[in-house]
Amino acid sequence: MKKLVMGAVAAAVLATSGLAADYTLKFSHVVSDNTPKGKAARFFEKRLEELSGGKIDVQVYPSSQLYKDNAVLKAIRLDSVQMAAPSFSKFGKIVPNLALFDLPFLFNDMGHLHRVQDGEVGEKLKAMVTKKGIVALSFWDNHFKQLSSSKKALITPDDAKGQKFRIMSSKVLEAQFHSVGANPQMMPFSEVYSGLQQGVIDGQENTNSNIFTKKFHEVQKYLTITNHGYLGYLVVMSKKFWNKLPADLQANVTQAMKEATIKEREYAEDLNTKQFNEIKAYAEKTGNLEIINLTAEQKAAWKTAVSKIYPEFYSDRKIGKDLIEGALNTK
């Protein structure tokens, strides 16, 4: 109650003083406020308003209140909304090179991934997006993906043979599963639980948070901790809005986004750990799920099996050899 009163007083002071923001920035995203993306968006809102001295009024619209991800990029181009954080898959027709992050076993760990995103490879990818008329600001995490199955424990690549795995629309993911003799099945995310439950598909790949929140672990017998692929988001801004900002406010946006990215990655790591612990607790309590942790040798066998697809994506119209090798060689 005290916070509400103080907020009302502050608003009244601003109103009576005649102060108003010079710019309004609408930040649209599709998840709730309590997710890593949602919390980071709120952090960015508060921080940019502080850094800009109130010159930029940030308004966050969570849970698809304004746009769904499949429509937001058009809205960004039109400056109907000024900022969004869609998943990489939504950029497929604009910059297919972002499918770099779909490549299996490309990143050794989260530290390596972030060095790629924050280094030369990440800057090249952001430049490709910006060249298409949308300012690319930063990469935000969901997390690494794991493999699950109701048919057979996935310990060696041969264990995947003949199994049907749900994938989102991605040539990389099709090639990934074909490389180990599995059958990729494109299916909307909303249908995965029922598909697993009814045996339409045998398995799936997803982050721990997606697996837990959608209860996929309750309709699977085996979960293998592979960290083989990555799900993330690219935070983008309207080029028209960016170009309207004077240099000092552009610097404020850059600084606020840098700080928000650090926070978002922390939130995502914490959630990944928390929800994996929830999955482990379910496995221990029910005995209905076996969790498999691969040895270094077993993980190397998977990487050898699937990395043979990399050359299929050397073309710049797909991903690009320089980006793939740049990611592999990032120290």
For the chain, domain boundaries = 17-89+97-329
Answer for the pair 99, 156: CB distance below 8 angstroms, yes or no.
no
Q: Using H for helix, E for strand and C for coil, what is the string for 206-219?
A: EEHHHHHHCCHHHH
CB 238 within 8 A of CB 77: yes
Q: What is the pLDDT of residue 243?
A: 98
3-state secondary structure of 34: coil
Residues with Cβ within 8 Å of 331's Cβ and at least 6 positions away in sequence, in order, are 115
Torsion, CA 69, CA 72, CA 76, CA 78, rounded to 10:
160
The residues with which 143 forms a beta bridge, in sequence order, are 231
- Per residue in 116-166, pLDDT tens? 999 999 999 999 999 999 999 999 999 999 999 999 999 999 999 999 999
Taking the whole predicted model, whether its pTM rises above 0.85 is answered as: yes
Judge whether 72 and 84 are in contact, CB under 8 Å: yes
* CATH 3.40.190.170 at 17-89+97-329, yes or no: yes
Residue 206 to residue 156: CA distance in whole angstroms = 18
What number of other Cβ atoms are within 10 A of residue 222's Cβ? 20
User: What's the pLDDT score for residue 169?
Assistant: 87
pLDDT at 19: 66
Q: What is the pLDDT of residues 276-297, one digit of tens each?
A: 999 999 999 999 999 999 999 9
Q: By the 8 A CB rule, do 206 and 145 touch? A: yes
Check residue 214 and give its pLDDT.
Answer: 93
Alpha carbon distance 50, 294 (integer Å) = 46
What tokens appear for 256 in the block?
């606020």
Q: What does each of the 331 residues of the chain score in pLDDT, given as a tens digit?
A: 444 444 443 444 344 344 689 999 999 999 999 999 999 999 999 999 999 999 999 999 999 999 988 899 999 999 999 999 999 989 999 999 999 999 999 999 999 999 999 999 999 999 999 999 999 999 999 999 999 999 999 999 999 999 999 999 899 999 999 999 999 999 999 899 999 999 999 999 999 999 999 999 999 999 999 999 999 999 999 999 999 999 999 999 999 999 999 999 999 999 999 999 999 999 999 999 999 999 999 999 999 999 999 999 999 999 999 999 999 999 9
